[in-house]
């Protein structure tokens, strides 16, 4: 739970969120701010106007981030517009307050973004190619990042100034670790005695026609670049592969594994070098009759390792003095060195485990070397082809064949697919999102789409089928099945409500359950984090009001399949801090403080928005 609080508190301003949300919004391209012509703005914040294209772009981003959550398009567009407005209100405020971010801060942040990295390092080529594909200059992009950074700076200033008291933490754990005792019965979905009539089917169909539309579909033609495809064209010879093998020999080498132990005779204020050496020589003689580990435990001045028989673990070069390392490297398994002097004193060193290193022969890894060589040689060609793909698909927006001919690839075609589902290349969500974008639906090539680090694609509309209403005859059986399911749920809900009313009137659960032939289940000392109940039931139990006046709290929880659970909550016991909780006390304070701070920031933002000069034209969300 503490982790979730931390995620919620920090998530709004963490670097990862800036990467995943702010930067894609920044990458919309400068076209959002130019060529508005006579188009009327759909909303304004002070002097800043937002147009339908801004809302559409924000909606596209929202629909990707929230895909699969069942939120309708109009709601998402409304949320996207509110996001634009809130961001602009905050931006105008932080500018008015004089907050700034330097060019260097922005550039360092940009260099940290995975969008612009190749093999974990910032790539100027990648940076320029992506900005070019979005029709945006480096200066404009840096400016947008600076805006995002100062907005984050302001948010940090509020959230990090918040604090939590010991009382706040104890109150949190009283709720979080709360125990609840419940008895409950599950009312199964009730069987129907009558099927829906044709009149009911027709009426339901007329009222819910949106449910019986075939979804909007498109098919695309596309070209694809892949590092793997380019690599296969790289010609290899044995001489080239052998040279590459020698350069990359470390990749085919298993290093030696060597574990060592030691006995230290320290040189210090009490023991001079001569005395320490004499002790070491005597110990070497004693090893003829004593076990090394036992002697280390007895006489070693390295008390930490002495407890483990002198064990130093795996030997790593560069940690100890050179004389120590040279001796440790030259010993055979089980061999003990003569006294070796280091800055700490004299050591007796023993090798306790030795697995020799191994270099795989060229012949044994030739195929692997060939693939690695081809990939390495193909990387520059791939990125150059990516730049060419970006430039030409923009310069020739009305066809893909010109680009395909220039790159030596084939234009391919997909089958029809929807926004939510597709096959082949359309199985990738990024492809579907691009295919249904305003740019592609208007007949233009898409911007290059990254399908992982080593694949790029550009799509173009081939066929577009609008959503269409299915006829009643076609949908009749589906409607009847849905009506039957809903009617059965209504009967189940009615029965559960009757049981609830009787329990609230004072009848015992045992009596009501027996009459309805339902099994009573009991859960004592139920906790939030560790219980085997269905999620919906557990959530309802811990949201329910506490019992009052010795009477149980009675409520109903609905399970996904339609079952209704009637619950009698008889006891609530305040939670206490466990030993594990106490160990994380400082973390708890920090996370709860962050949660308080995030709430405070949201209140500040709402206040700024209430005072801002905002105008929204209602027609925007209908488009």
Architecture of domain 256-356: Roll (3.10)
Any bridge partners for residue 261, and if so which? 311, 350
Return mean pLDDT, the chain. Answer: 85
* pLDDT digits 0-9 by tens, 114-151: 878 887 788 888 888 788 767 788 888 888 899 999 99
What is the percentage of the chain residues whose pLDDT exceeds 70? 90
**Around 613, how many Cα atoms within 13 Å sit in the side-chain half-sphere?**
5
Which residues are within 8 A (CB) of 471 and not within 5 positions of it... i.e. 6 or more apart?
none
pLDDT at 69: 53
- Residue 92's nearest CA partner among 143, 21, 145, 151 is 151
Residue 208 has pLDDT above 90, yes or no: no
Residue 367 has pLDDT above 90, yes or no: no
Q: How far is CA 601 from CA 88, 160, 594, in A?
A: 15, 10, 10
* pLDDT digits 0-9 by tens, 45-82: 998 998 888 888 777 766 655 554 556 667 777 888 88
Q: Supply the DSSP string of 364-414, one letter for each residue.
A: GGHHHHHHHHHHHHHHHHHHHHHHHHHHHHHHSTT-SHHHHHHHT---EE-
- Residue 542's nearest CA partner among 18, 175, 213, 62 is 175
Q: What share of the chain is helix, strand, coil (3-state, %, to 5)?
A: 55, 15, 30
Residue 42 has pLDDT above 90, yes or no: no
- Residue 65's nearest CA partner among 21, 14, 16 is 21
> Is 532 buried (19+), middle (13-18) or exposed (0-12) by CB count in 10 A?
exposed
Band of the pLDDT at 533, cuts 50, 70, 90? very high
- Residue 158's nearest CA partner among 614, 608, 613 is 608
Average pLDDT over residues 219-241: 85
CA–CA distance, 142 with 109 (Å, rounded to integer): 10
* pLDDT digits 0-9 by tens, 373-427: 878 777 778 888 888 898 898 899 999 999 999 888 999 999 999 998 999 999 9
* pLDDT digits 0-9 by tens, 592-623: 999 999 999 999 999 999 999 998 875 544 44
Six token digits for residue 589 = 């304070």
Residue 174 has pLDDT above 60, yes or no: yes
Q: How far is CA 527 from CA 3, 174, 540, 576, in A?
A: 17, 12, 13, 12
* pLDDT digits 0-9 by tens, 144-171: 899 999 999 999 999 888 999 889 988 8
Task: Tell me the torsion sign for CA atoms 475, 481, 484, 485.
Answer: negative
Domain 2-163+598-622 has CATH 1.10.4030.10: yes
pLDDT at 63: 64
Q: How far is CA 132 from CA 23, 388, 444, 531, in A?
A: 15, 11, 16, 53
CA–CA distance, 333 with 330 (Å, rounded to integer): 10
Task: Supply angle C-alpha 486, 491, 495, rounded to 5.
Answer: 145
CA–CA distance, 123 with 382 (Å, rounded to integer): 14
Number of H helices, E strands in the chain: 25, 21
CA–CA distance, 589 with 171 (Å, rounded to integer): 11
CA–CA distance, 493 with 514 (Å, rounded to integer): 19
**Start-to-end C-alpha separation, the chain:** 41
């Amino acid at each position: 739970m503490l982790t979730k609080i931390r995620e919620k508190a920090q998530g709004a301003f963490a670097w990862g969120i800036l990467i995943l949300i702010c930067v894609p919004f920044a990458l919309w391209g400068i076209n959002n701010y130019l060529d508005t012509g006579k188009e009327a703005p759909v909303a304004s914040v002070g002097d800043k106007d937002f147009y339908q294209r801004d809302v559409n772009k924000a909606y596209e981003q929202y629909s990707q981030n929230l895909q699969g959550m069942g939120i309708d398009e109009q709601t998402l567009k409304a949320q996207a517009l509110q996001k634009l407005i809130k961001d602009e209100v905050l931006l105008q405020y932080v500018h008015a307050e004089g907050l700034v971010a330097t060019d260097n801060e922005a550039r360092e942040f940009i260099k940290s973004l995975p969008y612009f990295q190749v093999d974990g390092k910032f790539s100027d080529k990648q940076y320029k190619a992506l900005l070019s594909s979005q029709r945006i200059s480096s200066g404009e992009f840096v400016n947008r990042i600076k805006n995002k950074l100062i907005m984050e700076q302001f948010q940090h200033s509020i959230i990090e100034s918040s604090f939590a008291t010991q009382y706040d933490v104890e109150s949190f754990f009283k709720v979080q670790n709360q125990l609840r005792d419940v008895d409950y019965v599950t009312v199964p979905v009730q069987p129907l005695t009558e099927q829906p009539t044709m009149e009911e089917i027709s009426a339901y169909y007329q009222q819910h026609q949106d449910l019986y539309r075939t979804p909007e579909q498109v098919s695309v033609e596309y070209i694809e670049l892949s590092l793997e495809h380019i690599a296969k064209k790289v010609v290899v010879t044995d001489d080239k592969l052998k040279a590459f093998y020698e350069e990359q020999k470390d990749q085919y080498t298993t290093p030696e594994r060597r574990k060592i132990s030691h006995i230290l005779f320290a040189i210090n204020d009490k023991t001079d070098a001569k005395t320490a050496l004499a002790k070491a020589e005597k110990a070497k003689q004693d090893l003829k009759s004593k076990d090394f580990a036992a002697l280390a435990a007895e006489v070693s001045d390295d008390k930490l390792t002495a407890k483990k028989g002198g064990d130093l673990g795996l030997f790593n070069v560069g940690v100890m003095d050179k004389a120590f390392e040279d001796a440790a490297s030259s010993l055979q398994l089980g061999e003990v060195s003569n006294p070796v002097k280091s800055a700490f004193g004299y050591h007796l060193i023993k090798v306790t485990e030795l697995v020799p290193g191994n270099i795989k022969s060229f012949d044994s890894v030739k195929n692997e070397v060939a693939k690695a060589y081809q990939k390495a040689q193909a990387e520059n060609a791939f990125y150059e082809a990516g730049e060419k793909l970006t430039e030409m698909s923009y310069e020739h927006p009305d066809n893909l064949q010109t680009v395909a001919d220039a790159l030596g690839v084939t234009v391919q075609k997909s089958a029809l697919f929807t926004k939510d589902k597709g096959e082949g290349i359309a199985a990738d969500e990024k492809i579907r999102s691009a295919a249904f974008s305003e740019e592609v639906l208007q007949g233009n090539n898409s911007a290059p789409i990254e399908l992982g680090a080593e694949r790029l694609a550009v799509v173009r509309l081939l066929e577009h089928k609008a959503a269409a209403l299915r006829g009643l005859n076609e949908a009749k059986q589906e409607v009847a099945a849905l009506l039957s399911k809903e009617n059965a749920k209504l009967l189940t809900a009615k029965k559960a409500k009757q049981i609830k009313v009787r329990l609230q009137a004072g009848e015992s659960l045992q009596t009501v359950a027996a009459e309805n032939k339902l099994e009573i289940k009991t859960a004592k000392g139920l906790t939030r984090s560790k219980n085997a109940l269905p999620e919906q039931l557990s959530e309802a139990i811990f949201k329910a009001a506490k019992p009052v006046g010795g009477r149980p709290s009675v409520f109903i929880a609905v399970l996904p399949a339609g079952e209704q659970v009637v619950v009698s909550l008889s006891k609530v016991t305040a939670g206490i801090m466990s030993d594990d909780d106490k160990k994380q006390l400082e973390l708890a304070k920090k996370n709860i403080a962050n949660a308080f701070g995030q709430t405070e920031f949201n209140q500040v933002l709402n206040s700024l928005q209430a005072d801002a000069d905002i105008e929204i034209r209602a027609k925007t969300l209908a488009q």
